[in-house]
Structure 1
Amino acid sequence: MTQTVEALFDEGIERYKAGEAPETLIPMFKEVCDRSRKTSSAWTCLAWLYLLTDKPTLAYDAAQKAVKLNPQDPQARVNIAVAMLETSKKGVREHIEVAQQLIMVVSELRDEVQQNIEDGLTRKPNWKSLERVKAWLFDS
């Protein structure tokens, strides 16, 4: 029996939180995105996994879909900004400004983004692009 998209997504999140390597989770999140093309959270997760595995071009494509599906998701905005920095694309400021506005208004979103950034820096130390985004969002 095939797992539901929701069950597959939840399992992927749990495995990520348990410390599983991003490389092994990418196929699972790709399947979720293929089966549920309009689920922005799945695209956001896939973009993050691509960023963690040094695949910024794939991350940018996934993050772009996530932002298009849910422009009010600050994590999707963080992901696209990091991917843009890593691929030398222009237009980073717009995404940073939207993310700043969103996390200023909703403290739960601020906490979530902050935790995700710290998790990213733990999994990938000295991640310059993420450190820049963190400074723009939280040190201003």
Structure 2
Amino acid sequence: MSQQIESDFEQAIARYQNGESPKALIPTFKEICDRASKNSAAWTCLAWLYLLDDRPKSAYKAATKAVKLTPEDPQAQVNLALAMLDCEKSGVRSHIDHAMEVMMASSELREEVQRNIEDGLQRKPDWKSLLRVRRWLFES
């Protein structure tokens, strides 16, 4: 990833962490994905923003791309599972299982996914799919 794209990505992440709305950030992440189409982290972020913005079909496309690029990323797997739930697609369990496998091997990744889920529930408290995924990943 070029330094400019990396800088843009870090700035966009900071804007998200400072509370900027998903709707405002989607164009920025979409542009980053267009400029760095093999950047799995950017696709994962874009999918998350689409999910927060109630756009599961767009999230499904972005999350599918992220998982293809980095199948071992548990957040990408979680995002794909969420998009599939919100689009009422089958096959969710395999993505949950894959995320669980990776998280069992890395407490750091487990904590990151847990933080992201809690962040998602703060931003969108009634997110039924995320509540289900949290239960599957952390309460089973």
What's the TM-score, normalizing by structure 2? Answer: 0.97
Alignment deviations for residues 27-49 of structure 1 (CA, whole Å, 9 cap, x no partner):
00000000000000000000000
| Matching of residues 96-135 of structure 1 within 5 Å | 96-135=96-135
Please, which runs of 5 or more residues in structure 2 have no aligned partner? none
Shift of residue 95, structure 1, vs aligned partner: 0.1
Q: Aligned-pair RMSD on alpha carbons?
A: 0.8
Distance 1:27 1:6 in 2: 16
> What does residue 82 of structure 1 align with?
82
Alignment deviations for residues 34-90 of structure 1 (CA, whole Å, 9 cap, x no partner):
000000000000000000000000000000000000000000000000000000101
Structure 2 residue 136 is matched with structure 1 residue 136: yes
Shift of residue 126, structure 1, vs aligned partner: 1.3
Distance 1:19 1:123 in 2: 9
> What does residue 43 of structure 2 align with?
43
Structure 2 residue 62 is matched with structure 1 residue 62: yes
Distance 2:11 2:40 in 1: 17
| Identity, % of aligned positions | 63
Letter in 1 for 2:26: I
Distance 2:65 2:115 in 1: 23
Give every structure 1 segment of 4 or more consecutive aligned residues whose post-TM-superposition deviation is greater than 4 Å: none
Letter in 1 for 2:23: E
Shift of residue 4, structure 1, vs aligned partner: 1.1
What's the TM-score, normalizing by structure 1? Answer: 0.97
Distance 2:101 2:53 in 1: 28
Count of residue pairs brought into register by the alignment: 138
Please, which runs of 5 or more residues in structure 1 have no aligned partner? none
Letter in 1 for 2:36: S
Alignment deviations for residues 88-134 of structure 1 (CA, whole Å, 9 cap, x no partner):
10100000000000111100000000000000000001100000000
Letter in 1 for 2:55: K
